[in-house]
Structure 1
Amino acid sequence: MTNTKKKVTNSSAIQKRLIPSYIFLIIVCFISVFPIYWMLTAATNASFDVSTGKIWFGTHAIENFRGLLKSSIGSGAPLSKIMWNSFKYSAVQTVLCIFVCSLAGYGFELYHDEKKDKLFAVLLLAMMIPGVATLIPLFRMMSAFHLLSTVAAFILPGISTPFMIMMFRQNSRNFPVDIMEAARIDGLSEFAIFFRMYMPIMKSTYAAAAVITFMNAWNAYMWPRAVLSDNKAMTMQMLVANLSNGYSVDYGVLMMGVLFCSLPTMIIFFVLQKQFAEGITGAVK
């Protein structure tokens, strides 16, 4: 009986000590979730209600959606075309980026060479350079190759990033080297090992990299604004920026556009959140 009472007392004491932690987590969750809630409510309210701080759902969702459709056509392309542009650019860049960066990370970690680490250190230095600093040189390169206002101009600068290469290299340390040696004994080529052994085992890392790359490509604004001068090649971020220009801004329509911008990345993250967590922690299967 005495031991049972002590256990109950200790459990109660632990729960009381955790109360401040619970309160802190509730506050943090509220701060994180409230902007999403406000975005949803603002997309259903009139511009005046949004500007006055109304934070509950309204009845202007259909009007705001119609206004978004009208604004997209006024910008030079229908909303469906703009959404398709964003998805097409982001999907192609994601596939190419995770393939190129995984191949580089695989080589950096699993093939040994004296100069490899020096080359990787130089590569990591590129992470210290802000993207704005390379904007003009990249633009001039795309102009010299006559790639402006094309899918290639949007995609090429993002198909290989130091962060993705570093991520794949770090997670490749968990890849069992014995499998490579056994595969070589069985006669598999190096590319066959990569495609048939490495990629299936590192699928969690691929999922995490895909989520990060897709979100970065989808949310890109400055680079597409610089290279995509054709309105038919416009992305969702550019459309939302256009909605906020002018002397008067319809905040209901603007938040409806923000909602359409946010939905694809939110859906992809919720679908792949388990694999994303495993890939970030370096788990392999």
Structure 2
Amino acid sequence: MTNKKNSSAIQRRLIPTYIFLIIVSFISVFPLYWMIAAATNRSVDVARGKITFGSYALENFQNLTSQTDLWGALGNSFLYAIVQTVVALFICSLAGFGFELYHDKGKDKVFSILLLAMMIPQVATMIPLFKMISSAGLLNTVWAFILPSISTPFLIMMFRQNSRNFPIDIMEAARLDGLSEFQIYFRMYMPVMKSTYAAAAVITFMNAWNAYLWPKVVMADTRAQTMPMLIANLASGYTVDYGMLMMGVLFCSIPTMIIFFVLQKQFAEGITGSVK
């Protein structure tokens, strides 16, 4: 009886906490709900603050596809984001693998210099980067989009920190079995560090998908525009169709939400440095 009374007393004390968490959850989810609801209403209804679902979703979708190159922008965003994610994961994981698991007197100094790049704002390097990309004739290409971001200090640091949990005995045993260093990387390191790869993939894909400023600089051709650029163009006219705009925002948000929900467990493990 005493245990039941203590348990019920604890539950009663937790009621305010549950109420607070429920309220915060509703506040957090409301913008997502409003985005979906606004995509189903007319522009005038959205401007008036209507928050219930309407019956104009198909009309907004038809206007979006007829007035913009929606599928082209979606295809460009997927292409740029996927290529950048794959290349960045390979380069940054290889760098983190080398920085942590190989011993050299100067590697810590090199890594410290590399981390200094995190202090430099993107806008400070935008003009020289644009001149380099323009001189190489890469404007309006996937390489113009991904080259400045395929090796970031944050991802290298993330892989190096998580590599500290990588069992060194595996590498020594693999060397005794005659495996080369690249074979150790592909056959031993990558499978063990899969949670870190998942977390890095989510971060890189979201950053690439939501990038706006740099693509706006190097993607002058409308055929190379991405989803954030398309949405910005929809919102910059003299008259804005808010229903069509929110339908575009919905299409832009769906891929990142799917990626996060599919990889959320691995993302949490990778951020906390878990290695399996």
Instruction: Compute the TM-score of the two structures, normalised by the length of structure 2.
Output: 0.98
Shift of 1:243: 0.3
Shift of 1:23: 2.1
Which one of 96, 102, 107 corresponds to residue 87 of structure 2? 96
What one-letter code is carried by the residue in structure 2 that aligns with 1:79?
L
CA RMSD of aligned residues (A): 1.0
1:120-146 CA-to-partner distances (Å, cap 9, x unmatched) read 111112112221222112111111211
Identity within the alignment, %: 72
1:48 corresponding residue in structure 2: 44
Unaligned regions of 5+ residues in structure 2, if any?
A: none
SS in 2 for 1:272: helix
1:75 corresponding residue in structure 2: none
> For the residues of structure 1 that align with 2:107 and 2:135, how far apart are their CA atoms?
32
Which one of 220, 226, 240 corresponds to residue 231 of structure 2? 240
2:182 corresponding residue in structure 1: 191
Unaligned regions of 5+ residues in structure 1, if any?
A: 73-77
1:271 corresponding residue in structure 2: 262
5 Å-filtered alignment, 1:53-202, equals 53-72=49-68, 78-202=69-193
Matched, 1:16 2:12: yes
Contact 1:71 1:243 in 2 (8 A): no
1:155-177 CA-to-partner distances (Å, cap 9, x unmatched) read 10110111111110111111100
Contact 1:38 1:55 in 2 (8 A): yes
User: After the TM superposition, which of the residue ranges 214-223 and 19-28 deviates more from structure 2?
Assistant: 19-28
Shift of 1:204: 0.9
Structure 1 residue runs of 4 or more that deviate by more than 2 Å after TM superposition: none
1:40-68 CA-to-partner distances (Å, cap 9, x unmatched) read 00000000110111001001101100111
> For the residues of structure 1 that align with 2:110 and 2:2, how far apart are their CA atoms?
60
Shift of 1:13: 2.0
> For the residues of structure 1 that align with 2:23 and 2:124, how far apart are their CA atoms?
38
